[in-house]
Homo-oligomer: A and B are copies of this chain.
Amino acid sequence: MNIGMIGLGRMGGHMAQRLREGGHAVVGYDSSPQSDRDVDSMEALVKALSSPRVVWVMVPAGEPTDSVIETLAQLLDAEDLVVDGGNTRYADDTRHARYLDQRGIRFMDCGVSGGVWGAERGYAVMAGGSLEDFERVKPVLDALKPSGPDGLVLAGGVGAGHYAKMVHNAIEYGMMQALGEGFATMAKSPCITNPAAVMTSWKSGSVVSSWLLDLLANAFEDDPTLSGMPPVANESGEAKWMVESALELGVPTPVTAAALHMQQMSRGGADDILRAISTMRAQFGGHVTKV
């Protein structure tokens, strides 16, 4: 089918390519003239699509997505469909849907997982919206997803796609932290000769077999001690939103929180805590912390 793609960065560009390989006619736009865009404005993109139009928005969450949706609200017609495939916070989807609905424009949110591997391996797609809109855009979703029975779900109404993606990313954080704790413990233990070899062996037959382990094993081929990587990690919004949503729902998520906290610590987030602890210890014990 005929689809507009706004945002041709790492994710949007690869997705456009996969859609074309799947037989769809993609009109791509990106604000950067250096991009591989087909048209040089959103107006041109809208004109190039046949009605009722489907426009996939794949730009950074927050202000950029807000701005694109506001522009599309001016350009599109009733019954056109906007799909937000970015990393928008689920709570913002409702706002976007209402805004577009004032003009009769339809809205869906799609969480998309797969990173740079998705172009080849297929993307896991989690959609939120009405069943009618889901069916309408399903040929596109089918082209994005991996072959086989899984990899695509209508998770619920508007917002559910991003909610599911948020949960997915939080699980990812927890799994990465679990694998990291195992690696770090073996790296320090005099018992284990080669932690990289141990973890690589788990790719097959073990209970922890997983795509994340496969990726780690890939990296071990070049750098078995990972000494080339910096000991810092950048948190993204999803795990934070997950912890907040779970707190409100009364669900304890200690593992998600712990993974997030460690990432914040790696960026100095706990420095004032440690200063306070050092201060109290210095006060009561005459301990002076040596740096």
Q: Is the CB of A153 within 8 A of B279?
A: no
The CA-CA distance from A3 to B197 in the complex, in Å, is: 27
Q: How many copies are assembled?
A: 4
The CA-CA distance from A186 to B164 in the complex, in Å, is: 8
5 contacts between A and B (CB under 8 A): A174-B181, A176-B276, A180-B276, A215-B279, A219-B282
* Chain B residue with the shortest CB-CB distance to A279: B219
* Chain B residue with the shortest CB-CB distance to A242: B185
Q: Is the CB of B207 within 8 A of A209?
A: no
Q: Is the CB of A163 within 8 A of B180?
A: no
Given contacts A146-B204, A280-B179, contact A266 B270 (CB under 8 A): yes
| Residue interface bits A79-96, CB-to-B below 8 A is 1, else 0 | 000000000001000000
The verdict on A172 contacting chain B, using a C-beta distance below 8 Å, is: yes
Question: Please, how many residues of chain A have a CB less than 8 angstroms from a CB on the other chain?
Answer: 137
The verdict on A2 contacting chain B, using a C-beta distance below 8 Å, is: no
Most chain B C-beta atoms within 10 Å of own C-beta, residue among A172, A185, A235, A266: A185
| Residue interface bits A279-291, CB-to-B below 8 A is 1, else 0 | 1111111110101
The verdict on A182 contacting chain B, using a C-beta distance below 8 Å, is: yes
Out of B125, B184, B251, B256, name the residue touching A178 (CB < 8 Å): B256
The verdict on A70 contacting chain B, using a C-beta distance below 8 Å, is: no
| Residue interface bits A220-246, CB-to-B below 8 A is 1, else 0 | 000100110111111100001011111
